[in-house]
Structure 1
Amino acid sequence: MAGPAELRELVQTDVAQEIPKETLGPVITNAPFVYVDGTFNTRDLGLIEGSPLRPGFVHRTGTINHLTDNGKAAIAGKLGIKRIFDLRSPEERSMAPDPEIPGVENTWIQSTRPDSTPDLNMFISGVGEEGYEFMYMEVVDIYRASWKAVLEHVRDRPQDPFLVHCTAGRDRTGVISGLLLALAGASPDVVTFDYLLSRIGTEPVRQFLLGVAMAGTKAQSEEQPGFYNLCSLKAESWAAFVKGVQRDYGGFAQFVTEQLGFSEEDLAKIKSNLTKA
Structure 2
Amino acid sequence: MATSKADLVKLAATDVNQALTPQEYGPVISAPPFVFLDGTFNTRDLGLVPESPLRANFAFRSGALGGLTDNGKAVLTGKLGVKRVFDLRSPEERTRMPDPVIDGVENTWIQSSKPDSKPDLNKFVAGEGEAGYIDMYLEVIEVYADSWKAILEHVRDRPQEPFLVHCTAGRDRTGVFGGLLLALAGASEDAIATDWQLSRIGTEPVRAMLLEFARKGTDAYGDDQPGFYNLTSLRKSCWGAFANAVEKEYGGFEKFVTDRLGFSQDDLAKIKKNLTNP
Q: TM-score, normalised by structure 2?
A: 0.99
Once the two structures are TM-superposed, the CA of residue 20 in structure 1 deviates from its matched residue by: 1.2
Distance in 2 (CA, whole Å) between partners of 1:228 and 1:106 is 34
| Aligned residue-pair number | 277
Partner of 1:152: 153
Matched with 2:194 is 193
Aligned to 1:69: 70
Q: Distance in 1 between matches of 2:139 and 2:6?
A: 33
CA distance in 2 between counterparts of 1:257 and 1:4 reads 32
Which residue is 1:130 aligned to? 131
C-alpha deviation, 1:224, in angstroms: 0.6
Matches within 5 A, 1:172-211: 172-211=173-212
Give 1:3 deviation, angstroms.
1.9
What is the distance in 1 between the residues matched to 2:244 and 2:274?
A: 26
AA paired with 2:50? E
1:11 correspondence with 2:12 = yes
Point out 4+ residue stretches in structure 1 off by more than 4 angstroms. Answer: none
Distance 1:76 1:221 in 2: 40
Residues of 2 paired with 1:3 and 1:259: CA distance? 37
Quote the residue 2:26 is aligned against: 25
The separation in 2 between residues aligned to 1:8 and 1:235, in whole angstroms, is 10
TM-score under structure 1 length normalisation: 0.99
Structure 2: 5+ residue runs without aligned partners?
none
Distance 1:250 1:5 in 2: 31
Distance in structure 2 (CA, Å) of the matches to 1:220 and 1:5: 36
Structure 2 residue aligned with 1:42: 43
| Counterpart residue type for residue 165 of structure 2 | V
What is residue 106 of structure 1 aligned with on the other side? 107
* CA-CA distance at 1:37 after TM superposition: 0.5
Q: Post-superposition shift, 1:229?
A: 0.6
CA deviation after TM superposition for structure 1 residue 5, in Å = 1.4
Q: CA RMSD in A?
A: 0.7
Matches within 5 A, 1:217-236: 217-236=218-237
Q: Which amino acid aligns with 2:9?
A: R
Measured against aligned partners, the alpha-carbon deviations of 1:202-240 in whole angstroms (never above 9, x if no partner) come to 000111110111111111111010011111111111111
Distance (whole Å) between structure 1 residues aligned to residue 149 and residue 216 of structure 2: 31
Aligned-pair identity in percent equals: 63
CA distance, structure 1, for counterparts of residue 135 and residue 180 of structure 2: 17
